[in-house]
Structure 1
Amino acid sequence: MAAYLDSAATTRVDPRVAEVVLHCMTEDFGNAGSRTHDWGTRAKRAVQQAREQLAAQVGSSPSELIFTSGATESNNIALLGLAAYGEKQGRRHIITSAIEHKAVIEPLEHLASRGFDVDFLSPGPSGRLSVAAVQERLRDDTLLVSLMHVNNETGVIQPVAELADHLRGTSTYFHVDAAQGFGKLTEDLRAPIDLISISGHKIGAPKGVGTLVIRRRGRDTVPLVPLMYGGGQERKLRPGTLPVPLIAGLAKATEIFERERDQWWAEAAAFRSRLVDALGKTKLHFNGDQEHAVPHILNVSFDGVDAEALIVQLKEIAAVSTGSACTSASYTPSHVLRGMGLPDSIAANGLRLSWFPDQIAELNVDELAAEIAEFQAGTAFLG
């Protein structure tokens, strides 16, 4: 079986997490909103414990965290939910980057169609936006800065903690899509960031669950309005029956990842080093700042090689992707690599390799590199 090198898209549910999820599905299966029996009480207790545990991870109060279906929904609540306040206050300027996930770009494009002025800043070939570049664009009417924590295609880490410190003294709110960074660089998220979107399935939790952290500034909370109506759950911002098994699974996955993070980081970095060394026998271009990147995501373009054709060639050895799973059906050049100003010859052929150590034990990196080198040589010969 091929090794799994697409962990930035999703991870396998940790068996220890699956055990908790199954228990909540088959034993403690009550509705957390039911107050008249023990099943409801146990479900409510599980949700509260999870809320406390997850909030503690980012240094927030449990009352500042709501559960969602994942980072995409959290992003939409954060971005679209703030729009009414911006319109009322005459603050319609938003700063973001050209390399954000589509779950941020598309809501912001929608706001642009409503009259908001959205600055999509390019970070340049490094893929890392500087704090100074954001500060230069701040205006009196800047409502929001939205910047991802870790890029999902390149793995490049953005300076969100430093930027949060600069923005905290202003009236501009700060939103961070932390889908790829939560668990790996959680300390960054303890900075005074107003809104943080988190997804569970990037750290061994089930798909379909995440959180939105909504921090107060003193006594003031971020003035969000709901996008849906129909219940009072989750501070009236996200109505609907809470998925207790998924929430408990997210809490368990977070607990496990926190306990084992140092080992995970060391093993992921060691594999990266072996992989990079092996790929030295090919002709390639590493995309993004390799000095400011998480250890488990690598984006490369191989000279003269079509990425889609290479994926097919490698399917018996490794499962890889050309970028975000949300846009993998599209064969257009990566908007992330284009947003970094890279030429189409590179942007159209970026290959993302991403891994969790427990998924790549059987992979022979030398065999992988040799297969790529052979394919590259054959492509050059045919060309």
Structure 2
Amino acid sequence: MTIYMDCNATTPLEPAVGAVVRRYLEEEYGNAGSRTHEFGARAKSAVATARNQVAAAVSAEPTEVVFTSGATESNNLAILGLADALKERGLTHVISTALEHKAVLEPIDRLEAEGFRVDWLTPGLDGRIHADQVLQRVSAETGLVSVMHVNNETGVVNPIEAIAEGLRGQQAFLHVDAAQGFGKAPGLTSARIDLISISGHKVYGPKGVGALVARRRGLQRPPLRPLMVGGGQERGLRPGTLPVHLIAGLGEASRLAVAHREERRVRCEEIKHLFLSGIASVPHTVHGDTEHSVATTVNVSFHGADAEAALVCLKGIVAISNGAACTSSAYQYSHVLKAMGVPEKRMRESLRWSWSHLTPDPPMQAIVAALRPLLRG
């Protein structure tokens, strides 16, 4: 049996979440916008429950949660949705990092093309952006700071709380792509984090749903403008009929993530220990700061083993990735590892291993045996 170890691409669906999705897809199929009958009322209630569950996971208010199709849409809404207001206020300086997902890099590229000045921060080999790197660049013209929570390729956790604390008193909006960290790693509860992007399918929920948490400052909401028009749903920020079954699934996944965070972390740490112990006898390099990383991810280069050749050798044993799912179909060196300064030969060998609390123990003897013919000291 092939063991799935590509959970940063997508996680398995938690069984209890699947049951909720099926209920609101097959039985309670009303439209949350229907006001004249009980089917609509029950759908509306399910959405309200999910809004509360998502908000609770980051200590936000339910009215601050906007449902979207996932973190990619949330990132676009957060970044491009602020653009007009930032221009009007003369806040045309943006700070972000070279480690971001393409769903942040490309919207910020668009801002840059429209005249915004962008500072792209780079890490060292630890793969971590440090708070002072960000805060030293903040000026009176800074309108947006966008730093990811957990890197999708290395699992390294950025110091979001320290960045948020350092931004107190500043005008800049702080946006965090939390697709990989929501429900798994602490660091998202500060009231100074203005915008948080999340995806259901990264936290054992369904694909096709996510949320943007848009926190108020006092009574003021972030001045977002919609990217689409055509309906009044989600305070006019995201028009279209709400997918109640997906939203209810995201809510349940959020609830379970909070309720079982510690036991899930312990199980994932066990797998991480098994994995790192299992590869200790072969020449390898782990990329990123292992002291500041999640329990679910290791990015490793096995010396001499080209990643493409390694994937062939491991077929039928484990399902893993040689990069982010959004780019691995057309293989190119990881922009994350490149930004970290990883040597080209190590980038060519790098494999991302990611698992969950639902993952069985990895067959380390079989993995090492499959890789050994490719290795050199």
Calculate the TM-score normalised by the size of structure 1: 0.96
Mapped contact 1:57–1:186 kept (Cα < 8 A): no
Q: Is the 8 A contact 2:92 2:141 kept in 1?
A: yes
User: What residue is the counterpart of 2:372 in the other structure?
Assistant: 373
Q: Check the 8 A contact 2:300/2:351 in 1, yes or no.
A: yes
The SS at the match of 1:46 is helix
Q: Does 1:356 align with 2:356?
A: yes
Letter in 1 for 2:157: I
Asked if structure 1 preserves the Cα contact closer than 8 Å seen for 2:178 and 2:198, the reply is yes
Cross-structure match for 1:101 = 101
Partners in 1 of 2:339 and 2:3 — Cα distance? 30
Partners in 1 of 2:191 and 2:283 — Cα distance? 40
8 Å CA contact 1:333, 1:349 repeated in 2: no
Alpha-carbon contact 2:57-2:255 (below 8 Å) kept: no
Letter in 1 for 2:338: R
Identify the residue that residue 147 of structure 2 maps to in structure 1. 147
State whether residues 320 and 351 of structure 2, in contact with CA within 8 Å, keep that contact through their aligned partners in structure 1: yes
Task: Give 3-state SS (helix, strand or coil) of 2:128's partner.
Answer: coil
In 2, distance between residues paired with 1:122 and 1:326? 21
| Same amino acid, percent of matched pairs | 49
Confirm or deny: 8 A CA contact 1:17 1:249 kept in the other structure: yes
Contact kept in structure 1, 2:322 and 2:350, CA below 8 Å? yes
Residue number in structure 1 paired with 2:90: 90
Rounded Cα–Cα distance in structure 1 between residues aligned with 2:259 and 2:172: 35
Structure 2, unaligned stretches of length 5 or more? none
Secondary structure of 1:145's partner?
strand
* Alignment partner, residue 263 of structure 2: 263
CA positional deviation for 1:191: 4.6
Alignment of 1:104-183 (within 5 A): 104-183=104-183
Partner of 2:60: 60
Report Cα offsets for 1:173-209 as digits up to 9, x if no partner.
1000000000112453345200000111111100011
Runs of at least 4 residues of structure 1 off by over 4 A?
none
Between the aligned partners of 1:251 and 1:12, the Cα distance in structure 2 is 16
- The residue identity in structure 2 corresponding to 1:66 is V
2:31 is aligned to 31
Distance 1:338 1:329 in 2: 18
Task: Name stretches of at least 5 consecutive residues in structure 1 with no aligned partner.
Answer: none
Deviation of 1:368 after TM superposition, in Å, equals 1.1
| Residue pairs, 1:193-208, within 5 angstroms | 193-208=193-208
Alignment of 1:182-221 (within 5 A): 182-221=182-221
Q: Distance in 1 between matches of 2:187 and 2:111?
A: 31
Amino acid at match of 2:33: G
Paired amino acid for 1:369: V
Asked if the contact 1:149–1:160 (Cα under 8 Å) also holds between the matched residues in 2, the reply is yes
**Counterpart residue identity of residue 246, structure 2:** L
Tell me which amino acid in the other structure corresponds to 1:238.
Answer: R
Structure 2: how far apart are the matches of 1:78 and 1:167?
A: 18
Output the CA distance in 2 between the equivalents of 1:27 and 1:101. Answer: 37
Amino acid at match of 1:36: T
Does structure 1 retain, via aligned residues, the 8 Å contact 2:131–2:162? yes
Number of equivalences: 377
Partner amino acid, structure 2, of 1:29 = Y
1:325 shift after superposition: 0.5
Q: Secondary structure at the match of 2:358?
A: helix
| 1:282/1:372 contact within 8 Å kept | no
CA contact (8 A) 2:60 2:189 kept: no
Q: Is the 8 A contact 1:122 1:341 kept in 2?
A: no
Contact 1:77–1:226 at 8 Å: present in 2 too?
yes
Structure 2 length-normalised TM:
0.97
**In structure 2, how many angstroms separate the alpha carbons of the residues matched to 1:196 and 1:239?**
19
Q: Is the 8 A contact 1:91 1:141 kept in 2?
A: yes
- What is the Cα deviation at residue 366 of structure 1? 2.3
* 1:39-97 per-position Cα deviation (integer Å, ceiling 9, x unaligned): 00000000011111211221111111110000000000000000001111222110000
Q: Match of 1:365, as an amino acid? A: M
Moved more, 113-122 or 250-259: 250-259
Task: Tell whether the 8 Å contact from 2:164 to 2:190 is kept in structure 1 after alignment.
Answer: no
Report SS of the residue matched to 2:260.
Answer: helix
